[in-house]
Structure 1
Amino acid sequence: MKKDSFFIKTLVLTVSNIVTGILTFSYSIILSKEIGSQGMGLYQLIMPIYSMLLFISGGGITTTLSKISAEKKARGKMKELYETINVIVILEIIWSIFIIIVFSLTARFMANSMLKDIRTYYGILALSPAVIIISISSAYKGAYYGLQRVVEPALIDIAEKIVRISCMYFFVKLSKNLSIEYRVAAAVASLSCGEITSMLLFLFAYNRYKNKHPSYEKPQSSMKLALNVLKLSIPLGLNGIFSTIFNSIISVLIPQRLVTSGLSYEESLSLFGKLEGMALNIAFFPSIILSSFNILLIPSISEAVTFNRSEAISDRINAAFKVSSLTAFSSCALMFAIPYKLSVLFYKDIEVGNILYYIALTLPVFYISMTTYTILNGLGKQGKLFLNSTIISIIDIAILYFLLPIDFININAYAIDIVISSFIAIILNTVVIKKSLKFKFNWFEIIILPALISFFDYIITK
Structure 2
Amino acid sequence: MATLYKGVFFLAASAFLGESIEFFINMILARELGKHGLGLYMSILPSIYLIVLLSSFELQVSISKFIAEKEGRYHRSILHHAIMIAIVFTSVLLLMTTGIIPFVPIFNAYHPYTRWLVILLIPVICFTSVARGYFMGKQQMGKIAISNFFRKIFQLAILFFVFRLFQFEVKSAVLIAIATFIGSEIVVFAYLIFTFMTQFQQIKRQPFSNLNRQVVRKSLIAVSVPTTMMRLFSAITGAIQPFMIKQALIRSGISSTIATEQYGMLAGVALTIGFFPAFLAHSLMTVLIPAVSKAYSSRDFGSLHKMLNQVMKFTFLYGIPAVAAFYLMASPLTSLFFHSSTAAGYLQMLWPCFLFYFFIIPMQAFLIGLGLIKDIFLQTVWATIVSYSIILWLGSIPEWRMNGVIIGMNVEAVLLALMNYLTVCKKIGVSMFMKGYIHKTTEH
TM-score, L = length of structure 2: 0.91
Quickly say closer, same or farther: Cα 1:100–1:278, change in 2 above 3 A: farther
Equivalent in the alignment of 2:222? 231
- The CA deviation at 1:37 is 1.8
Select the residue among 83, 90, 104 that pairs with 2:84: 90
Question: What is the SS of the residue equivalent to 2:259?
Answer: helix
Percentage identity across paired residues of the two chains: 20
Instruction: Map 1:29-428 onto structure 2 (within 5 A).
Output: 29-72=27-70, 76=71, 78-110=72-104, 112=105, 115=106, 118-119=109-110, 122-170=113-161, 176-177=167-168, 179-213=169-203, 214-428=205-419
Task: Decide whether aligned partners of structure 1 residues 228 and 175 sit closer, same or farther in structure 2, where only a CA change above 3 A counts.
Answer: farther
Query: Which residue is equivalent to 2:5?
Result: 7
1:369–1:423 CA contact under 8 A, matched in 2:
no
In the aligned structure 2, how far is the partner of 1:101 from the partner of 1:192?
Answer: 20
Distance 1:345 1:45, change over 3 A: closer
Q: Does the residue aligned with 1:126 lie in a helix, a strand or coil?
A: helix
- Given that 1:298 and 1:374 are in contact with CA atoms closer than 8 Å, whether structure 2 keeps it comes out as yes
2 CA distance for matches of 1:136 and 1:175? 34
Residues 168 and 88 of structure 1: is their aligned pair in 2 closer, same or farther, counting only changes over 3 Å? farther
Instruction: State the AA in 2 paired with 1:57.
Output: S
Report the Cα offset of residue 443 of structure 1.
8.0
Mapped to 2, the partners of 1:276 and 1:166 lie a distance apart of 23
Name the SS for the 1:362 alignment partner: helix
User: What TM-score comes out, normalization by structure 1 length?
Assistant: 0.88
Residue 44 to residue 346, structure 1, CA distance change in 2 (3 Å): closer
- Number of aligned residues: 434
CA distance 1:63–1:202, shift in 2 (3 Å): same
Cα deviation digits, residues 157-196 of structure 1 (max 9, x gap): 111222222334455567733x422321221111232112
CA contact (8 A) 1:71 1:302 kept: yes
1:123–1:182 contact (8 Å) kept in structure 2: no
The aligned counterpart of 1:460 is none
Shift of 1:271: 0.8
The superposition leaves residues 399-438 of structure 1 with CA deviations (integer Å, 9 ceiling, x where unpaired) of 1111111223222233312332223223322342233121
> Which runs of 5 or more structure 1 residues have no equivalent in the other structure?
445-462
Mapped to 1, the partners of 2:181 and 2:353 lie a distance apart of 30
Letter in 2 for 1:427: L
Quote how far apart the aligned CAs of 1:382 are. 0.9
Higher mean C-alpha displacement, 330-339 vs 213-222: 213-222
Q: Does the 8 Å CA contact 2:244/2:392 hold for their aligned counterparts? A: yes
Could you tell me which amino acid in structure 1 is paired with residue 61 of structure 2? T
Kindly report the root-mean-square deviation, in angstroms, between the aligned alpha carbons of the 2 structures: 2.2
The alpha-carbon deviation at position 309 of structure 1 amounts to 0.9
Structure 2: where are the runs of 5+ without partners? Answer: 436-444
Rounded Cα–Cα distance in structure 2 between residues aligned with 1:366 and 1:44: 20
CA 1:287 to 1:393, structure 2 compared with 1: closer, same or farther past 3 Å? same
**Structure 1 residues 201 and 250: alpha-carbon distance in aligned structure 2, compared to 1, 3 A threshold:** same
Question: Aligned AA for 1:199?
Answer: F
1: CA distance between counterparts of 2:419 and 2:243? 27
Amino acid at match of 2:31: K
Q: Displacement of 1:121 after TM fit?
A: 5.3
